């Protein structure tokens, strides 16, 4: 997935800017297409993964995502690219929640924090190869890079049909009772989130992670190439500029996660690391937007991206540790939907900011939104330490 997805991300970013000639606000709207799809389908597909099969859910997701990639590579029309992203997002909902729930059950949550970090490291290493392949192939024809990415997703889906195991025993659902069971699963998942103190706080953290990300995710390529003018600074193809940046991020994210694994020893450490990474993300975004030297500004983006790469496996581990197996994919998908809601809510705001102001002002708002998770991670850490002391005192 790291290989396929980063070929896609590297090639699609430049494809939309240089081949389809999309404006900043159109790039943000393209991202909104994916988030609309996730908002609609995330929880339903998570419930089906819990009730039916997480393996089947992942395989379906990869098939559908490959269709979305192929459609985008065949057109430069904004509405069709919008549709392609909607389809890709639909496919992603089958994987989101289901894959992490599958991993969690297969290893029975043993050392889940380090397993999630290790899997992210494997993803990062493969992504470096994907970025390089996208750049090499993109020099000839950037569309071919998109098609190869779609082909890799398709190949992985077929591979998993034969080699992905699933040992979890599933409840047998009586014929005609599926929708009743579906509704009960939905209620059970939401009820667990509502009753669990950590997940209630994570609700707001994930919402603000969704709110902050839409603007920078859809505009960083065009800002690096044209806003910082790296298109003219280096006498190389634009896709190589983006590829080098993304490859540097992937390599240093791998190194950063090695450090986290080494020092993640106590339960509250996961909240401290999440706090630190989020604060580093804010510093990186502000540096990217406002540092006067273009090289320092680019370093700000790399610093932000490395910090971000360290945050997400920690967020997933927190959610997994605090969710029972029977509603795991449902709960994880619910938080995925929450992230999509945040991105949809901020998408309109970011479009307006991109139209009325400069990209820098949009990035300032982006950084300010991350202050809420910074505060809430402190609360989670303090609550965890307080609970640990209570248990120690009371035997």
**Dihedral angle at the C-alpha atoms of 373, 379, 380, 383, nearest 10 degrees?**
-170
pLDDT tens digit at each of 395 positions of the chain: 999 998 998 888 888 888 888 887 888 788 888 888 988 888 888 888 888 888 999 999 999 999 999 999 998 899 999 999 999 999 999 998 889 889 888 888 788 888 888 888 898 889 989 989 998 888 888 899 999 999 999 999 999 999 999 887 666 555 555 667 777 878 888 898 888 899 999 999 999 998 888 788 878 888 898 888 898 888 888 888 888 998 899 899 989 988 888 877 666 788 999 999 999 999 999 999 999 999 999 999 999 999 998 898 899 888 988 888 888 888 888 888 888 888 888 877 777 777 787 788 889 989 999 999 999 999 988 887 776 665 555 65
CA distance 204 to 374: 11
What was the pLDDT predicted at 390? 52
175 with 165: CB under 8 angstroms?
Answer: no
363 with 220: CB under 8 angstroms?
Answer: no
| Residue reference for tokens 């300032």 | 364
**Dihedral angle at the C-alpha atoms of 236, 238, 242, 243, nearest 10 degrees?**
-60
C-alpha distances in Å from residue 342, one per residue of 180, 206, 383: 29, 8, 25
Residues 6+ apart with CB under 8 A from 160: 55, 58, 59, 62
What was the pLDDT predicted at 213? 84
98 with 45: CB under 8 angstroms?
Answer: yes
CA distance 151 to 66: 7
Instruction: 371-374: list long-range contacts, CB under 8 Å, 24+ apart.
Output: 371/282, 372/204, 372/205, 372/208, 373/205, 373/208, 373/209, 373/274, 373/278, 374/275, 374/278, 374/279, 374/282
What was the pLDDT predicted at 285? 96
Residues 6+ apart with CB under 8 A from 176: none
Of 147, 383, 378, 346, nearest in space to 271 by CA? 378
- Can you list the domains of the chain with their CATH numbers? 2-163+182-393 (1.20.1250.20)
Tokens of 179: 């929708």
CA distance 310 to 303: 11
């Amino acid at each position: 997935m790291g290989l396929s997805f980063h070929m896609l991300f590297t090639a699609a970013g430049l494809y939309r800017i240089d081949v389809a000639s999309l404006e900043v606000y159109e790039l943000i709207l393209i991202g909104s297409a994916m988030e609309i799809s996730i908002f609609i389908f995330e929880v339903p597909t998570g419930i089906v993964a819990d009730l039916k099969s997480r393996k089947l859910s992942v395989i379906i997701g990869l098939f559908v995502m490959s269709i979305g990639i192929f459609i985008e590579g065949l057109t430069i029309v904004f509405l069709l690219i919008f549709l392609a992203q909607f389809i890709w997002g639909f496919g992603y909902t089958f994987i989101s929640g289901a894959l992490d729930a599958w991993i969690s059950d297969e290893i029975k949550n043993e050392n889940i924090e380090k397993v999630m970090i290790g899997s992210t490291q494997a993803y990062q290493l493969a992504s470096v190869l994907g970025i390089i392949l996208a750049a090499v192939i993109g020099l000839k024809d950037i569309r071919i890079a998109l098609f190869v990415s779609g082909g890799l997703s398709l190949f992985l889906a077929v591979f998993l049909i034969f080699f992905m195991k699933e040992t979890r025993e599933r409840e047998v659902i009586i014929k005609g009772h599926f929708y009743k069971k579906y509704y009960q699963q939905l209620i059970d998942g939401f009820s667990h989130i509502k009753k669990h103190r950590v997940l209630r706080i994570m609700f707001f953290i994930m919402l603000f992670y969704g709110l902050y990300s839409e603007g920078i995710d859809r505009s960083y390529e065009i800002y690096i190439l044209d806003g910082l003018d790296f298109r003219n600074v280096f006498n190389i193809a634009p896709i190589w500029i983006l590829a080098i940046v993304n490859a540097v991020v992937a390599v240093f994210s791998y190194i950063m996660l090695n450090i986290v694994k080494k020092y993640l020893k106590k339960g509250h450490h996961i909240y401290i690391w999440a706090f630190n990474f989020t604060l580093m993300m804010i510093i990186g975004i502000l540096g990217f937007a406002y540092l006067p030297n273009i090289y320092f500004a680019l370093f700000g983006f790399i610093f932000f991206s490395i910090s971000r790469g360290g945050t997400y496996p920690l967020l997933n581990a927190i959610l997994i540790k605090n969710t029972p197996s029977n509603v795991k994919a449902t709960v994880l998908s619910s938080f995925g939907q929450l992230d999509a809601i945040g991105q949809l809510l901020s998408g309109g705001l970011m479009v307006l900011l991109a139209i009325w102001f400069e990209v820098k002002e949009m990035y300032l708002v982006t950084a300010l939104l991350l202050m809420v998770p910074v505060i809430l991670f402190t609360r989670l850490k303090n609550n965890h330490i307080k609970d640990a002391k209570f248990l120690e005192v009371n035997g």
